[in-house]
Structure 1
Amino acid sequence: MSDTVQTARPESPARTAPDGRRRLVVLSVDAMSDVDVPFARTLPNFARILAGGWGSAEAIYPTVTYPNHTAQTTARTADGHGIYANEKVSPGVRVPDWFWDARDIASPTIFDLAKEQGLTTASVGWPVTGWSPSIDIAVPEIWDRAGLEQTLAVLRDASTPRGREYVDRHAGEISWERKQVFGRFNTAVATDILRTDRPDVLFVHLVDVDSARHSTGRFTPEVKEAFERVDGWIGEILDALEDAGIAEETNVAIVSDHGHVEVGRCFRGNNLLVERGFVRLDESGDVSSWDAWVHGCGLTGQLYLNPEADETTLEKVLALVEDWVEDPEIPVAAFHPLADMTEDYGYAGPFLGVLEGTSGTNFQNLWEGRSLYGRFDEDYTFLISQHGHLPEQDIQAVFAMAGPDIAEGVRFNRCTVPDEAVTFAHLLGLEFPEADGVVVEEILRVAVTG
């Protein structure tokens, strides 16, 4: 829930489209934090949105991309929407499948609500929108590590029929050097959709800032360059709204999903589970059977028990985790049982609970090599900064809006990511049947009544 308003609403009247129509564009700048706002204000297109209302936004647990982007379209925490991590728990799999599929979401999305009311919707690069049953034009975030050709095939398959037309038109905009880069592609598709289809609702995901932070650190020249690049893309999207003749009737939001924490070490809990016999390997070093598994989720790990394990095994696994917490050589600060996480954070998943790492500890699914890799180790080749920490820790995400229904110059202290989705629904005249948030009234030009 949002906190105290620091700036009063201006009394200027709202701009109204001739038919009273309202549209919504949501731009996710992945990993943008509230401490980035002073710099973002120096960039022309970020400044246009930040001139409306903005404040910090507390993420849901886990503070990773897919659960939070799903909260931004469902108004639910993971207990309600069911997307408990970026990747699905997959013991023994080095590269698990991600939650690509919109049909995995367990609660209604804003796209579902909009469809029921006859609104047209589109999404570009938005997580968990593959094979969407309700988005009119969906070009989801999805890739195949095998390469660009395979990625284009799965992207076409996961897109809606109209979305496939945009994939084919702009496939050349996907960059593929060492890994997939979709920022230029997502922007080209989004601007084309706005000019061609003029949807009532458009959600776009831009991930360059997050990628730069993972690979170079929280505040580096590369992160600055990523912000400047994203600012240019935001400008293209705002220009497309003008070209389509719908800028005056469109509320535009900038959201993000988490902050970042500098990484000091990488921890492979499954390596220790192998040592203690809870994970067993075959002659080739692959997992042959297992009793317990640590599902890495950024700066926390999720402790998973084999559904066929007996009570004795459960007791032994929990005792081992207690030893980890007490051992100063193992970077696990606490174990939080799932019931506590559900009560405190609205978190649920197929786990016993959550392993909280010591500050700057990144959890990995892997079991080979060593259990611990430090930043000063010669063979450290992992991320430089990461997220997945408990929501109240470290810097917060951002929620900003500008448009005909948004007051200008408003600064609020704090909202939550589910609050954003409730606010989006309110602006479109929609209502979620269940919500873990409330409207961020402080940024509205006209207060909520009733």
Structure 2
Amino acid sequence: MKKKLLLISLDAMIGKDIEILKTLPTFAPILEKASIVKSVETVYPSMTYTAHASIVSGTYPEKHGVITNEVFTPLMNKAPWYELRTQNKAQILPELAQENGYSAFINSWPTLVGANVDYVIQRAGIHYPKEEQESEIRKNSNAVLTQEMWDYCAEAWTLPNYYSTDKFSALASKYVINRYQPDLTLMHMTLPDHYRHSHGVLSEKLVDAYKYLDDMLAIVVDELKAQGLYEQTTFVFCSDHGQVDIDMSVNANKLLIENGLLTVDEEGNMTDWQAYVQSSAVSAHVYLKDPTDQELTDKVYQLLNENRELLYIEHIFTREQVKKTYRLDGNFTFVLEAKEGSSFGFNIMADYQNPIMNEDYRVSRGTHGHIPSKGEQPCLILSGPGVLEGKELSVAKVVDIAPTCAAILGFEMPEADGRVLREILVD
């Protein structure tokens, strides 16, 4: 009988959340037999799409190319997100699993629209309004999404956003497990991230988020039990990033506008640019229209450096520095890291300093995008066949997750940057 593995990303889960999970009826029995890593080093910037690309490929952004959530697109106020499998340049766990004889199911995992696996249910990113979700899901999924399946999951859309998307994911997994019993399933659940954005990193309300997710996990677990698959399934719960609390946002593009490097019309639409700061919340990428122009490069650096206090800048990294230190690379010229308590906003017409606004994740009460060492750290939980019971590692990296999952299933990921966590696996 083939091995089964269920990899679930609980967005923004941190090490301190494990104590909550131990009290919940569906999570608790799984954690009783688990090995745990309470502190997992994420990637830079610590953004959902960047980290999920690293988790599923075992590689750093310099290799897979997903360098933040949104693709830098000059003169567009609403940039597209890194949704497509083709935008992730690295090998990925589910496609390699299929090459090694396993069936795979991708359920709402960021960056994998169009992945070459048997079953793909790819809801739109949570940045899409609820009313646009159905058309995006139908466009992004493959033939496994039949009308019967859609009707089966329809009750999810009676719920508020985030609750609805997580319930859709749970019901979709139940449906696919019932009919196809995939060997490898990837799921992404979003509610902890939403609660932290809205209420703060260590809000007591997180208990409510995990109670809801426990109910969603029960939908999947009950189906595994009904199919006789529960005992042979290895559960891997991972996280993409932690968060930090902020109390203000900064508009760095105002400085560029005032110095003639960015032009906007009366409605705030960009009409021309020489330099632009793209927010990744607590960090930002600085793009130059002509990155080979040394005079422009020097001018922008001088402006930013002279206005560190005004813009609440903690670090100004060059492209070479972030490539060497964080294995991040792209067409940007600089990367900015905000000071504690602040993040970079997206509204180019805003003042220099602005209050937080929960409607935009980049400037909400809790947010991310920061260097990996900051704030509360993500964690990793493994339980089931192939995993030792009761082991605890002090540290690991998000790039270790995919090669470790591959090892549990019995194959390798030769291009991964991460390692197999053999110290918590059965020989």
Using the size of structure 1 for normalisation, the TM-score is 0.88
Matched, 1:431 2:412: yes
Deviations 1:251-274 (A, max 9, x none): 111101111100121111112211
Match of 1:280 in 2: 263
Pairwise CA distance, 1:44: 2.4
Matched, 1:157 2:143: no
Write the mapping of 1:60-99 to structure 2, written as runs, cut at 5 A: 60-99=43-82
Q: Match of 2:316, SS? A: strand
Distance 1:77 1:48 in 2: 33
Are the structure 2 counterparts of residues 179 and 203 from structure 1 closer, same or farther at C-alpha, using a change threshold of 3 Å? closer
In structure 2, what residue type is equivalent to 1:135?
V
Higher alpha-carbon deviation: 42-51 or 316-325: 42-51
Pairwise CA distance, 1:209: 0.8
Deviations 1:79-123 (A, max 9, x none): 111111111112333332111111111011112211212211101
Q: Which stretches in structure 2 are left out of the alignment for 5+ residues? A: none
Distance 1:38 1:146 in 2: 32
Pairwise CA distance, 1:402: 0.6
Q: Match of 2:379, SS? A: strand
Q: Match of 2:231, SS? A: helix
Write the mapping of 1:397-412 to structure 2, written as runs, cut at 5 A: 397-412=378-393
- Aligned mate of 1:253, from 236, 247, 254: 236
Write the mapping of 1:13-412 to structure 2, written as runs, cut at 5 A: 19=1, 21-51=2-32, 52-55=34-37, 56-132=39-115, 134-143=116-125, 147-165=129-147, 166-175=149-158, 177=160, 181-307=164-290, 310-325=293-308, 328-374=309-355, 382-412=363-393
Distance 1:427 1:146 in 2: 35
Pairwise CA distance, 1:242: 1.1
Deviations 1:212-267 (A, max 9, x none): 11011122243220011111212222222111111222111110111110012111
**Cα contact 1:338–1:348 (8 A) shared by 2:** yes
Are the structure 2 counterparts of residues 353 and 202 from structure 1 closer, same or farther at C-alpha, using a change threshold of 3 Å? same
In structure 2, what residue type is equivalent to 1:356?
E
Distance 1:179 1:123 in 2: 18
Distance 2:232 2:162 in 1: 38
Higher alpha-carbon deviation: 173-182 or 300-309: 173-182
Identical counterparts, % of pairs? 26
Are the structure 2 counterparts of residues 273 and 168 from structure 1 closer, same or farther at C-alpha, using a change threshold of 3 Å? farther
Deviations 1:315-346 (A, max 9, x none): 21111121123xx2321011011111111111
Distance 1:391 1:214 in 2: 18
In structure 2, what residue type is equivalent to 1:109?
I
Distance 1:392 1:311 in 2: 32
Distance 1:187 1:401 in 2: 19
Pairwise CA distance, 1:164: 4.6
Pairwise CA distance, 1:200: 0.7
Are the structure 2 counterparts of residues 145 and 394 from structure 1 closer, same or farther at C-alpha, using a change threshold of 3 Å? closer
In structure 2, what residue type is equivalent to 1:53?
S
Distance 1:127 1:398 in 2: 19
Pairwise CA distance, 1:70: 1.2
**Cα contact 2:123–2:136 (8 A) shared by 1:** no
Q: Which stretches in structure 1 are left out of the alignment for 5+ residues? A: 1-18
Match of 1:14 in 2: none
Distance 1:113 1:178 in 2: 33
In structure 2, what residue type is equivalent to 1:246?
L
Q: Match of 1:44, SS? A: coil
Distance 2:252 2:163 in 1: 28
**Cα contact 1:79–1:347 (8 A) shared by 2:** yes
**Cα contact 1:139–1:164 (8 A) shared by 2:** no
User: Across the two proteins, how many residue pairs are aligned to each other?
Assistant: 420
Pairwise CA distance, 1:423: 0.0
Deviations 1:371-429 (A, max 9, x none): 211459xxxx9511101110011211011111111111111101000111110111122
**Cα contact 1:337–1:352 (8 A) shared by 2:** yes
Distance 2:365 2:355 in 1: 11
